[in-house]
C-alpha cells in the first residue's frame, strides 16, 4: 500500500483541526461526531492546538498519515520537529485574514526543507473573504521566503472546513472534501518504501503509557522493524546504546493499532526503549550514520521557578518541595524540545521558553497536577556577540477597527516599535510592527482594553538584533496588604477609588500580598481587613449597600504581564496570587535604600 505523509500547518484559528476532524469523519475513520483531534483539557478550554497529534486515513488504496500541528508561535518547536518527518504540508490560510505571522514562520521552515506545500484557502464563506487577494498575498509570501520555481507552482484548494466542503476551482459544485484528498494523492510523492536497506527511524515526538513507559513516535525512513527486534540507538553526538522493541503500533484514524511489523515510509509508535529522546536515530547496526539532529529555534524569555514560601505555602498543593518541582521539570524536558532549564542554582530553576504562553501552559499543567510554586517576572534573554548586546525582536501583526489605530501606534512607538506596513480596508486597519520582545511583554492586556476587545494581535520571533536601550512603559503601583486576615467589603469599597482590585470580599489575605494596582504609580500599603466602626448612633445615608466594582481576575498570563520586578506570582492548584518578594513593608523600604 502506498503511503503519503503530510502535516497540516497554519496560523492559530485558521481552521486546521476542524479540517482534519472533517477528513476523519468523511473517510469513516471516526464515527463519533464529538471526537476531535484537540483532546487535551487545555486545548478544549482555549480552543487552540498546543501539542502536535498524529492520525491516518485510507483513501483510494492509499494510507495518508496526517500530523495536526499547533498554530500559536510559542509552540513553534512542535511544528519544527514534525516537518522533518513528512513529505508535504497543507498550508491552511483564512480567506479573509490572509497570511498571518505564524503562517510565515511555519511556511519558511517547510520551504527550507524543500517541501512543496498544497495551499488550502479556508473559510471562503466568510462575508469579507477575498479569495483572489489572499491567493496573491500567499504567492507574494512564497517569493519573499525564497521559494524555488517548483514550490511557487503550488496547488490551491478552496474549502469550508466547518461544513466539510472542498473545491479545486472556486465555482465548482462540491458536497465533501474528496477534491482535497484527490489533490493530496496526486501531488504528494509516495513515501520511499525500501525495505531492503538497514533500519533507520527518527523519533519526532514522545508519548507515555502507564504500562509500557515511554513511547517513541517516529518515521521509518528505511528498512522494516518487527516486534522483539534488537536495535541500536544513536545520539547525534555518536554515542550508542542497545535496546529491544517490545511493541509496535501504527495510526488507524485517531487510534493506535498494534502490528507485528512496520515498513519504511510509515509513522510508528515504538515501546521498549525506556530512555529514547526526540531526534535520536534508531538503527539496526553500529556502522550506520545517525540522522541529522532535530534543531529548534532558541528560547527568547526566561522565568525563575521557586518553591512557594508564602504564609499560605503547602495548604493547597500536593507537590511542594524543590525536589518534586525538579523531577517534574526534568520530565517536561523529555517531550518539550522548545524548553531549556538551568538546574545549577540550589533554591530555584531558570526556565527558558519561546514566549509567555509557552511557559504559562507548562505552569497550568503543573498546577492541575497538584504542584505549588512561585515564579519571578519574565525577562528577555540578552546575548552578547562581538562585544554588542543583542535582544530578540518580534514581528507584530495587528488587525483593529480604524478608530483605534492612533492609540495603538502611539503605544507601540513608546515601546520602540517600528511600523513596517499599514493597510486600511472596509473600516479595519492592519499594521505590522517590528519591536523588541521587551516592548511587547505586558502589552497584550493593555491592547485588549485599548481596542475594547475588538483587536487581534499576533506575533512571531524574527531574530536577535542590537539592544535598543531603555523602554518606558505605563507603570502602575501595587496595592499591598499590611495585615493578614479576611478582606472585608467595607474596606475594599474605600480602596477601589485608588486603583483596580484583584480580590473579592471574604478572601483570605496575608501581609505582603498584592490585592490590587495603584493608579498613581507608587506602591500603597493598605489595610483590606478593616471593618466598619460600629456605634449606637445612626447616620442618614451611611448604611446604604456598598457597591463594589467587580475585581480583575488574575490568570497565569495576566499575572505574568502585570507583575513587577520585586514581586512573585504564587501558583497553587486552587489559586493564583501576586505577592511582594519581601513581605514586610519595613524590609521593602530598607531594600529600596
The tens-digit pLDDT sequence of the chain (593 residues) is 789 999 888 887 788 888 988 888 888 887 766 555 656 666 666 666 666 778 888 988 899 998 887 766 666 666 777 888 888 999 999 998 888 877 787 888 888 888 899 999 999 998 888 899 999 999 998 998 888 999 899 999 999 988 989 999 888 888 889 999 999 999 888 888 778 888 899 988 888 777 888 888 899 998 899 998 899 999 888 788 899 999 999 988 888 889 999 988 899 999 988 888 888 899 988 888 888 887 777 888 999 999 999 999 989 999 999 999 999 999 888 777 788 999 998 889 999 988 888 899 899 999 999 999 999 999 999 988 888 899 999 889 888 999 999 999 998 998 899 999 998 887 889 899 999 998 888 888 888 888 888 888 888 888 899 998 888 776 788 999 999 999 988 889 889 889 899 999 999 999 999 999 988 878 899 999 988 777 666 655 555 567 888 998 898 888 988 888 899 999 999 999 999 999 998 988 898 88
C-alpha cell at 518: 495603584
φ/ψ region of 27 (left if φ > 0, alpha if ψ in -120 to 50, else beta) reads alpha
Decide: 443 and 458 in contact? Cβ < 8 Å: no
Q: Using DSSP, state whether 79 is helix, strand or coil.
A: helix
Decide: 297 and 394 in contact? Cβ < 8 Å: no
Q: Phi and psi at residue 407, in whole multiples of 5°?
A: -60, -45
List, edge to edge, every strand of the sheet that includes 230-234.
240-244, 230-234, 281-283, 200-209, 213-222, 267-271, 247-252, 255-259
Q: Tell me the H-state helices in 390-475.
A: 405-414, 437-440, 444-450
Distance, in Å, from the CA atom of 111 to the CA atom of 149, rounded to the nearest integer, reads 12
Q: Phi and psi at residue 208, in whole multiples of 5°?
A: -140, 140
pTM: 0.81
555 half-sphere exposure, CB direction, 13 A CA radius: 8
**pLDDT on residue 46:** 64
Q: Which of 328, 327, 312, 311 is nearest to 363 (CA)?
A: 328
Q: Using DSSP, state whether 590 is helix, strand or coil.
A: helix
Beta strand 200-209 with 213-222 is antiparallel
User: How many other CB atoms are found less than 10 A from the CB of residue 45?
Assistant: 9
Decide: 284 and 234 in contact? Cβ < 8 Å: no
* Kind plus residue range of the DSSP H or E element containing 205: strand 200-209
Distance, in Å, from the CA atom of 339 to the CA atom of 59, rounded to the nearest integer, reads 38
**pLDDT on residue 104:** 80
First to last CA, the chain: 75
477: which residues sit within 8 A by CB, 6+ positions away? 499, 517, 518, 519, 520, 521, 522, 523, 524
427: which residues sit within 8 A by CB, 6+ positions away? 401, 402
As separate numbers, helices (DSSP H) first and strands (DSSP E) second, the chain gives 15, 34
**pLDDT on residue 574:** 92
Q: Using DSSP, state whether 23 is helix, strand or coil.
A: helix
Q: Using DSSP, state whether 452 is helix, strand or coil.
A: coil
Sign of CA dihedral 24, 25, 31, 37: positive
Q: 101-112 and 131-144 are packed helices; what angle lies between their axes, rounded to 10 degrees?
A: 50
User: How many other CB atoms are found less than 10 A from the CB of residue 231?
Assistant: 21
148: which residues sit within 8 A by CB, 6+ positions away? none
List, edge to edge, every strand of the sheet that includes 88-94.
53-59, 62-68, 2-10, 88-94, 118-122, 155-160, 165-167
For the residues of 347-364, what is the DSSP string, one character each? SEEEEEESSHHHHHHHHH
426 class by beta-carbon count within 10 Å (0-12 exposed, 13-18 middle, 19+ buried):
exposed
Distance, in Å, from the CA atom of 371 to the CA atom of 96, rounded to the nearest integer, reads 42
From residue 206, alpha-carbon distances to 81, 200, 274 in Å are 11, 17, 11
> What single DSSP character describes residue 175?
S
Distance, in Å, from the CA atom of 159 to the CA atom of 176, rounded to the nearest integer, reads 9
Q: Which of 356, 429, 426, 441 is nearest to 397 (CA)?
A: 429
Amino acid at each position: 500500500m502506498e503511503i503519503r505523509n503530510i502535516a497540516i500547518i497554519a496560523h492559530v484559528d485558521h481552521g486546521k483541526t476542524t479540517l482534519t476532524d472533517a477528513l476523519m469523519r468523511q473517510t469513516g475513520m471516526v464515527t463519533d461526531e464529538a471526537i476531535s483531534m484537540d483532546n487535551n483539557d487545555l486545548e478544549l478550554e482555549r480552543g487552540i492546538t498546543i501539542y502536535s497529534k498524529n492520525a491516518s486515513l485510507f483513501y483510494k488504496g492509499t494510507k495518508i498519515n496526517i500530523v495536526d500541528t499547533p498554530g500559536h508561535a510559542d509552540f513553534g518547536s512542535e511544528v519544527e520537529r514534525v516537518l522533518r518527518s513528512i513529505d508535504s504540508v497543507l498550508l491552511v490560510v483564512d480567506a479573509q485574514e490572509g497570511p498571518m505571522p505564524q503562517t510565515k514562520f511555519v511556511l519558511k521552515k517547510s520551504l527550507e526543507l524543500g517541501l512543496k506545500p498544497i495551499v488550502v484557502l479556508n473559510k471562503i464563506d466568510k462575508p469579507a473573504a477575498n479569495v483572489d487577494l489572499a491567493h496573491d498575498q500567499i504567492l507574494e509570501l512564497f517569493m519573499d521566503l525564497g521559494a524555488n520555481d517548483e514550490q511557487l507552482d503550488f496547488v490551491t484548494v478552496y474549502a469550508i472546513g466547518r461544513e466539510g466542503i472542498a473545491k479545486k476551482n472556486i465555482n465548482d459544485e462540491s458536497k465533501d472534501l474528496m477534491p482535497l484528498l484527490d489533490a493530496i494523492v496526486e501531488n504528494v510523492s509516495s513515501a520511499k518504501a525500501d525495505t531492503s536497506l538497514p533500519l533507520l527511524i527518527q523519533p519526532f515526538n514522545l508519548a507515555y503509557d502507564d504500562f509500557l513507559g515511554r513511547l517513541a513516535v517516529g518515521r521509518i525512513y528505511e528498512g522494516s522493524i518487527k516486534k522483539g527486534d534488537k536495535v541500536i540507538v544513536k545520539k547525534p553526538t555518536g554515542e550508542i546504546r542497545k535496546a529491544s522493541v517490545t511493541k509496535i503500533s501504527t495510526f488507524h484514524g485517531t487510534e493506535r493499532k498494534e502490528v507485528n511489523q512496520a515498513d519504511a515510509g510509515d509513522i510508528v509508535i515504538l515501546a521498549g526503549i525506556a530512555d529514547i529522546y526526540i531526534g535520536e536515530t534508531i538503527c539496526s547496526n553500529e556502522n550506520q550514520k545517525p540522522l541529522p539532529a532535530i534543531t529548534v529555534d532558541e528560547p527568547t524569555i526566561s522565568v525563575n521557578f521557586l518553591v512557594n514560601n508564602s504564609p499560605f505555602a503547602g495548604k493547597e498543593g500536593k507537590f511542594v518541595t524543590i525536589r518534586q518541582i525538579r523531577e517534574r521539570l526534568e520530565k517536561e524536558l523529555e517531550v518539550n524540545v522548545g524548553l531549556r532549564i538551568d538546574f545549577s542554582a540550589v533554591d530555584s530553576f531558570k526556565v527558558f521558553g519561546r514566549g509567555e504562553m509557552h511557559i504559562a501552559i507548562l505552569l497550568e499543567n503543573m498546577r492541575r497536577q497538584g504542584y505549588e510554586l512561585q515564579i519571578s517576572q519574565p525577562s528577555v534573554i540578552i546575548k552578547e556577540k562581538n562585544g554588542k548586546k543583542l535582544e530578540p525582536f518580534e514581528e507584530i501583526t495587528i488587525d483593529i477597527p480604524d478608530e483605534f489605530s492612533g492609540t495603538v501606534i502611539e503605544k507601540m512607538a513608546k515601546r520602540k516599535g517600528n511600523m513596517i506596513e499599514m493597510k486600511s480596508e472596509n473600516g479595519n486597519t492592519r499594521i505590522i510592527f517590528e519591536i523588541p520582545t521587551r516592548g511587547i511583554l505586558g502589552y497584550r492586556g493593555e491592547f485588549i482594553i485599548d481596542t475594547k476587545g475588538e483587536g487581534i494581535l499576533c506575533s512571531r520571533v524574527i531574530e536577535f538584533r542590537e539592544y535598543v536601550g531603555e523602554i518606558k512603559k505605563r507603570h502602575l503601583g501595587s496595592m499591598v496588604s499590611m495585615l493578614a486576615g479576611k478582606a472585608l467589603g467595607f474596606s475594599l469599597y474605600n480602596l477601589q477609588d485608588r486603583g483596580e482590585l484583584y480580590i473579592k470580599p471574604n478572601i483570605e489575605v496575608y501581609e505582603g500580598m498584592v490585592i490590587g494596582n495603584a493608579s498613581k504609580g507608587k506602591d500603597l500599603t493598605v489595610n483590606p481587613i478593616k471593618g466598619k466602626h460600629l456605634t449606637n448612633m445612626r447616620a442618614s445615608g451611611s448604611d446604604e449597600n456598598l457597591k463594589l466594582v467587580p475585581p480583575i481576575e488574575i490568570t497565569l498570563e495576566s499575572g505574568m504581564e502585570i507583575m513587577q520586578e520585586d514581586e512573585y506570582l504564587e501558583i497553587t492548584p486552587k489559586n493564583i496570587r501576586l505577592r511582594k518578594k519581601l513581605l514586610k513593608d519595613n524590609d521593602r523600604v530598607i531594600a529600596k535604600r
